[in-house]
Amino acid sequence: MHIPDGFLDVKAIVMTTSISAAVIAANGKNIKKAFTEQSVPAMGMMAAFIFVAQMLNFPIAPGVSGHLLGSALVTALFGPAAGMVIMTTVVALQALLFHDGGIMVLGANILNMAVIGCGLAYIVQRLPFKGKARPVLLFISGWLSIFIAAFTAAVELGISGVVPFSVVVWPVLIWHALIGVIEGAITMVTAPFLIKILNIRPLRKQEEHGI
Residue 163 pLDDT class (50, 70, 90 cuts): confident
If one counts the domains in the chain, the total is 1
Angle subtended at Cα 186 by Cα 183 and Cα 192, rounded to the nearest 5 degrees: 135
- CA 204 from centre of chain: 20
Write down the mean pLDDT value for the chain.
Answer: 86
Give the range of the structural domain holding residue 148, as residue numbers without chain letter.
10-208
Q: What pLDDT score does 143 carry? A: 96
Q: What are the distances in angstroms from CA 71 to CA 75, 87, 166?
A: 6, 7, 27
Cα distances from 132 to residues 129, 138, 188, in angstroms, run: 8, 11, 11
Q: What is the mean pLDDT of residues 174-196?
A: 91
- Strand (E) or helix (H) holding 65: strand 64-66
Asked if the structure places residue 2 within a domain, the reply is: no
- Tell me if 41 is assigned to some domain: yes
On whether residue 159 sits in a domain, the answer given is: yes
In a domain, 5, yes or no: no
| 4 within a domain of the structure (yes/no) | no
Query: What is the pLDDT averaged over residues 102-131?
Result: 92
Instruction: Write the CATH number for 138.
Output: 1.10.1760.20
Express as a percent the part of the chain with pLDDT over 90.
49
Amino acid type, 187? T
pTM, entire model: 0.87
